[in-house]
Chains A and B, each alone.
Chain A
Amino acid sequence: MRIIIAGAGEVGYYLARLFDQELHEIIVIDNNPERLKRVEDNLGIVTILGDSTSYKILKEVKVETADMLIAVTEWEAVNIVTAITSKKLGAKYTIARISNMEYLLDKKTLDLHNLGIDELISPESLTARVVKHILKEPLLTESLKLYDDKLIMMGLHIEDQAPVINKTIAETTSLNPENCFIIVAIHRKGETIIPKGQTQIKKGDYLYFIATNAGKDKVLKYCGKVSITIKKLLILGGSRTGARVAGRLCQYYDIKLIEKDINKCKELALNLPKVQIVHGDGTNVKLLEDEEFGTYDAFVAVTENSETNIFTCLMAKETGVKKTIAMVENIGLFNHSLSIGIDTLINKKLAAANFIFKNIHNGGIYSFLYGLDAEILEFEVGEKSRVTQKIIKDIDFSALTIITSVVRNGNAYIALGNFQLQSKDKVVVFTLSKDIRKVEAFFN
């Protein structure tokens, strides 16, 4: 595919990186040479300096032959104009990033599809979706639905109460009698381990599972987790993201939102029914105590300041809040999220990029798992693939890859060693990042 990305900011950069892994032909346009340099230096992708709304630039990148145009600059108007112009010039599929929720809410009146934009994405709205998703499964540090919800990838933190501490995986098979889940990775002290039967589970480990729907509860039991439900939610920061999260979740939870700008508070109070708006500085411990923040089930820190978010989340964790979510600006921090001690980190650009990637793209890499050097891959087994000739344990994979599960005729199975793959099976493979190419070769 030929993909043109307008805007080399965080979203554009991250998308370029995702698509590049799949050997697409990518061109990045931006009017900031420094950003383009970063793309070229780190990713080796072709870049064009210029304004993406310019007809000349669009001609120069041969937009008419593009399969996809993704406009993700910081400026909504630029994105919309770029997408519309490109569509008229012949781009097959266009995506524009917006920040104004109006376009998403009132689709009937102003139908941007007719104007030539195939997909509108709003990072704030997508972040709210992520938060909603996380709060639904508060025990999981990571969760990812695969194959139309038939399978789920779950990440859990092993704490004192887990019955599996200091046991090898082989020793714990009694806890998984129906083979409805499989451990696919262990994150321990900054290192990613692809587990074998004799790998020992330690306290403080982060375990990653793939489970069928029936296996979800078994996984929680395996890790000694008692299920909790979130009722009261405290949001810190009334930025667009905070407002969007509150607006989206107010029908499910009792929400209190703290914002330090009084005018923003007023605007939020007027526009968000059912949400209690509190005026105050989130970094002020006294205020947080006044607002009884320890009594909340979940704490979501989405101020503009990443440090504030991390700091208040740690404090909330300390006072007994069950689930803490911090928004961070710097994607680099994600690699350390597990060691920071916050349950979950979110980033709105990442949310946007992941959304585009997942929904536009059919098959292939699902997602990077931050903090892990591993990736989840999805393949359909090809007609003449080598893997159909043997049962799984005899396939000569690299030792660092696991075929985790298979969807066959609409049913999901956890794949064990003596499972025989057939063509047209859809498999989920867990592998260390460096082995992706090798694994791909097996299935095609």
Chain B
Amino acid sequence: MDLLSNKRINTFQMLLKQIGGLQILLGFMLWVPLIVSLLYREFYSALGFSISSLIILGTGYYLHKNIQSVVEPLNRHALAIAALGWLSIALMGAIPFVIIAYITPADVAQQFVPAGADYPSSLMYFKNPLHACFESMSAYTTTGLTMSVHEPSIGKGLLFYRSLAQLFGGAGFIVLSLAFLTQSSSKAAALLYGSESSGERLQPTIKETARSIWKIYLGLTLFSTIYLIVGTSVILPDYPLVDTIFDSINHAMTAQSTGGFSTLDDSIAGYHSRQMEILYLLPMILGALSIPFYFRVIYEKQWSQFWKNTQTRGVILACIFGSFILTLLLWESGIVSDPIREGVFQYVSALTTTGWQTSNIGSWDSSSIVFIVMGAMIIGGAAGATVGGIKIIRIQLILKGLFWHVNSYFLSPNSIQVTNFNQKRLLPEQINKELASAATFTFVYLLMVFISALITAQFMGEGYTMADALFESASAQGTVGLSSGITDPGMSPVLEITYIIQMWAGRLEIIPLLVLFRTILKGSKPVIN
């Protein structure tokens, strides 16, 4: 065997070994919904989770222990590990859906359907592995597009699994593995950390940083849970307490991860309460603010960060003005019954890329749809949070860069023009570099949205417009999860796969996927021209 292919095999062995580690975490994670299933006496679901857990743990253990890899992950590997890791998580994460769909007898599944409703259990859709993969990818990437047409009918266990998947997917598996597994050297850890997250180091070591992230993240989730339980009990005192607690836990997890899966059939609209919708605005916004921001506020007590932090300020201002504009547009079109209620909730849901839906977006006029696509879903919340989209900081950077460029015409050519951005002072070459990477990313991002919109336009059903196609594509790419109705178990498989790829790319900010494809096609040898 020649040296080159030997090297390539080594690289793949290393990739698989890393992925094995992630699988082990996933396998253990499944024990939580297993317990929930048992609590709700959903024994077929519990069995399904047990089998899935064993399969995933077995594979993970095999990969992790038996592959002898001497190669430490390098920069070029880190991104490929992230891309492949997330794909493997989404694929393995689909196993419980398929197994439970097959082993649950039809009459048992039908018992999940709430009393008084007369539709077949949505669990049966997951017999199609593609649907299961879609649901799983949507869950782990915190998107929230769903194949479960009627959510309550898939059982509490699976509902909880979906929400938990969003919670874990939001913070990131690699961050989790860095926090609790001590396998990598600190250099490798730093590389892996940077591949998945914003890369901002909060504590001196990566491990401490990863732990801080998880502490803050879980703390916020806990806060939202209590907030929602109390809020729901006050607003809807007649709602059964057990259901309130179950819904609140699930919704807190999906809000913090800006995932947007719901345990109700009509998402938050299922409460039929204006106050409940107002109540749910806060957890969404909390989820869209960056973890480093919380770190500064909670650990370092810098309260001024609420105004000083560029991104936090951006998110808050965008929520206020965007909601206002969307309300105006909806009010003008006269399509929806309550423009303020739907305008505000949908804008915040879209900007934070949560994706809870309270309005029939498919029926909106084109200008409202284009506004929510361009002005919310494509932008997204703060980098360093669990949101998708281009991220508000890149938009702010590009705007700043524009002003910087215009201003530079008024200075002498020898001047060193420093820009204040995000509480840092950037030299011309630094801002140029930042701008180049932000602009490249934005361009590729938009390109992907448009290509996918074209594919959608080809394969979508009757009665949808190009605006709907654009909306659905932006929703998948931005891991938002709002739907104009195109996403449905009856959709074309081509479209379904397109969206799976988009969600995967959207979570990881595209580049890791390109690196992975490059590694697969050409190996990890550098190109020298």
A166-194 vs B: 1/0 string, CB under 8 Å? 00000000000000000000000000000
Any B CB within 8 A of the CB of A265: yes
Determine whether the beta carbon of B414 is less than 8 Å from that of A290: yes
Q: Does A221 contact B (CB under 8 A)?
A: no
> Is the pair B416, A291 in contact by a Cβ cutoff of 8 Å?
no
Is B65 an interface residue when CB atoms closer than 8 A count as contact? no
| Alpha-carbon distance between A287 and B414 when the two chains are bound, in angstroms | 9
Q: Any chain A CB within 8 A of the CB of B529?
A: no
- Taking a contact as CB atoms closer than 8 A, the residue among A269, A279, A291 that contacts B418 in the complex is A269
**0/1 string, B410-435, CB within 8 A of A gives 1:** 01111111101000010100000000
- The smallest beta-carbon distance between A301 and chain B, in angstroms, is 17
Bound: A277/B418 CA distance, A = 9
Tell me the bound Cα distance from A284 to B193 in angstroms.
49
What 0/1 pattern do residues 266 to 287 of A give for CB contact below 8 A with B? 1011110100111110000001
Task: Check if B418 sits within 8 Å of A278, measured CB to CB.
Answer: no
Residues of A with C-beta under 8 A to B420 = 273
Contacts of B69-95 to chain A: CB distance below 8 A: none
Give the residues in chain B near A268, CB-CB below 8 Å. Answer: 416
B414 touches A280 (CB 8 A): yes
B412 touches A291 (CB 8 A): yes
A269 and B427 contact, CB distance less than 8 A: yes
Nearest Cβ distance between residue B500 and chain A, in whole angstroms? 44
**Given A266-B427, A273-B425: A290 and B412 interface contact (C-beta under 8 Å):** yes
Nearest opposing residue in chain A for B413, CB measure: A290
Instruction: With both chains docked as a complex, state the minimum distance between the C-beta of A16 and any C-beta of chain B, in angstroms.
Output: 42
Write out the residue numbers on chain B whose beta carbons fall within 8 Å of the beta carbon of A278. 412, 414-416
Tell whether, in the assembled complex, residue B425 and residue A279 are in contact, meaning their CB atoms are under 8 Å apart: no
**Can you name the residue of chain B whose Cβ is closest to the Cβ of A281?**
B414
When distances are taken between beta carbons in the complex, the residues of chain B under 8 Å from A271 are 425
In the complex, what distance in Å separates the CA atom of A265 from the CA atom of B418? 11
B414 touches A270 (CB 8 A): no
Check A276 against B411 for contact (C-beta < 8 Å): yes
- Smallest beta-carbon distance B408→chain A, Å: 12
> Closest Cβ of chain A: how far from B469's Cβ, in Å?
46
Q: How many residues of A contact B (CB 8 A)?
A: 15
Name the CB-closest residue of B to A287: B414
Residues of B within 8 A of A266 (CB): 416, 427
B418 nearest CB neighbor, chain A only: A269
B361-417: which residues lie under 8 A (CB-CB) from chain A?
A: 411-417
- Min CB gap A271→B, angstroms: 8
Q: Is the CB of B418 within 8 A of A270?
A: yes
Residue of B nearest to A271 (CB): B425
- Quick one: CB contact mask for B325-359 with A, threshold 8 Å, 1 for yes? 00000000000000000000000000000000000
Interface flags for B170-212 (1: CB within 8 Å of A; 0: not) read 0000000000000000000000000000000000000000000
**Chain A residues within an 8 Å CB radius of B416:** 265-266, 268-269, 277-279
Closest A residue by C-beta to B427 = A266
The total number of A-B Cβ pairs within 8 Å is: 35
Within the complex, the shortest CB–CB distance from B75 to chain A, in Å, comes to: 26
Which of A265, A268, A269, A287 counts the most B-chain CB atoms under 10 A from its CB?
A: A269
Q: How far is the CA of A277 from the CA of B414 in the complex (A)?
A: 8
A270 and B415 within 8 A (CB):
no
> Chain B: interface secondary structure?
loop
Q: How far is the CB of B419 from chain A (nearest CB, A)?
A: 10
The interface residues of chain B lying within 8 Å CB-to-CB of A280 are 414
With CB as the reference atom, state the residue of chain A lying closest to B424. Answer: A270
A304 to B425, CA, bound (A): 27
Nearest CB in chain B to that of A277: its residue:
B416
CB interface residues, A 72-99, toward B, < 8 Å: none
Most chain A C-beta atoms within 10 Å of own C-beta, residue among B411, B415, B427? B415
Chain A residues lying within 8 Å of B417, measured Cβ to Cβ, are: 269
Residues of A contacting B413 in the complex (Cβ-Cβ under 8 angstroms)? 290
Contact residues in A for B414 (Cβ distance below 8 Å): 278-280, 287, 290-291
* Identity of the chain B residue whose Cβ is nearest the Cβ of A267 in the assembled complex: B427
Which of chain B's residues have a CB closer than 8 A to the CB of A291?
Answer: 412, 414
Are B412 and A270 interface neighbours, CB within 8 A? Answer: no
Q: A287-332: which have CB < 8 Å to B?
A: 287, 290-291
Residues of B close to A276: CB separation below 8 A: 411, 415
Q: How far is the CA of A269 from the CA of B415 in the complex (A)?
A: 10
CA distance A266 to B417 in the complex (A): 9
Residue of B nearest to A292 (CB): B412
Cβ distance A272 to chain B, nearest Cβ, rounded Å: 9
Q: Give Cα A265 to B416, complex, Å.
A: 7
B452 to chain A, nearest CB (A): 41
Q: How far is the CB of A439 from chain B (nearest CB, A)?
A: 54
Chain B: CB-nearest residue to A275: B418
Q: Which residue of B lies closest to A272 (CB)?
A: B418
**Considering the chains assembled together, what is the distance between the CA atoms of A200 and B427 in angstroms?**
58
Min CB distance, B476 to chain A, in Å?
Answer: 41
In the complex, which residues of chain A have a beta carbon less than 8 angstroms from the beta carbon of B425?
269-271, 273
Q: How far is the CA of A273 from the CA of B420 in the complex (A)?
A: 9
**Which A237-287 residues sit within 8 Å CB-CB of chain B?**
265-266, 268-271, 273, 276-280, 287
Give complex CA distance A278, B418 in Å.
Answer: 11
- Rounded to whole angstroms, the CA-CA distance of A279 and B425 in the bound complex is 18
A175 to chain B, nearest CB (A): 45
Complexed CA–CA distance, A273 and B418 (Å): 8
* Chain B residue contacts of A287, Cβ below 8 A: 414
| B418 surroundings in chain A (CB, below 8 A) | 269-270, 273, 277
Q: Which residue of A lies closest to B425 (CB)?
A: A270
Q: Which residues of A contact B427 (CB under 8 A)?
A: 266, 269-270
- Distance, CA A271 to CA B418, complexed state (A): 10
Q: How far is the CA of A273 from the CA of B427 in the complex (A)?
A: 12
Give the distance in Å from the alpha carbon of A265 to the alpha carbon of B425 in the complex.
14
A280 to B416, CA, bound (A): 10
Most buried by A among B414, B416, B425, B427: B416
Q: Within residues 158 to 173 of chain B, which ones have a CB less than 8 A from any CB in chain A?
A: none
Bound complex: CA of A10 vs CA of B420, how far in Å? Answer: 41
How long is the Cα–Cα vector from A276 to B417 in the complex, in angstroms?
7
CB distance from A398 to the nearest CB of B (A): 57
Cα–Cα, bound, A192→B414 (Å)? 46
Report A290 CB to chain B, min CB distance, Å. 6
**A77–B411 Cα gap in the complex (Å)?**
41
How distant is the Cα of A291 from the Cα of B415 in the complex, in angstroms? Answer: 9
Q: Is the CB of B415 within 8 A of A277?
A: yes
Q: How far is the CA of A273 from the CA of B413 in the complex (A)?
A: 19
For the complex formed, measure the closest distance between the CB of B300 and the CB atoms of chain A, giving whole angstroms.
Answer: 16
Task: Return chain A residues, CB-CB under 8 Å to B412.
Answer: 278, 290-291
Give bound CA distance, A265 to B417, whole Å: 10
A290 CB contacts on chain B under 8 angstroms: 412-414
Residues of B within 8 A of A277 (CB): 415-416, 418
In the complex, what residue of chain B is closest to A268 when comparing beta carbons?
B416
Could you tell me the distance between the alpha carbons of A168 and B415 in the complex, rounded to whole angstroms? 52
Q: How far is the CA of A240 from the CA of B157 in the complex (A)?
A: 67
Give min CB distance, B407 to chain A, whole Å: 11
Q: Which B residues touch A279, using CB under 8 A?
A: 414-416
B426's closest neighbor in chain A, by CB?
A270
A290 to B416, CA, bound (A): 15
Task: Kindly state the separation between the CA atoms of A265 and B413 in the bound complex, as whole angstroms.
Answer: 14
Since A265-B416, A269-B416 are in contact, a sample of 10 more A-B pairs with Cβ atoms closer than 8 Å, ordered by chain A residue number, is: A266-B416, A269-B417, A269-B418, A269-B425, A269-B427, A270-B425, A273-B418, A273-B420, A277-B415, A277-B418
5 closest residue pairs by CB, A with B: A269-B416, A269-B418, A277-B416, A278-B414, A280-B414
List, sorted by A's number, 22 A–B pairs whose CB atoms are closer than 8 Å: A265-B416, A266-B427, A268-B416, A269-B416, A269-B425, A269-B427, A270-B418, A270-B425, A270-B427, A271-B425, A273-B420, A276-B411, A277-B415, A277-B418, A278-B412, A279-B414, A280-B414, A290-B412, A290-B413, A290-B414, A291-B412, A291-B414
- B interface residues (Cβ-Cβ under 8 A, vs A): 411-418, 420, 425, 427
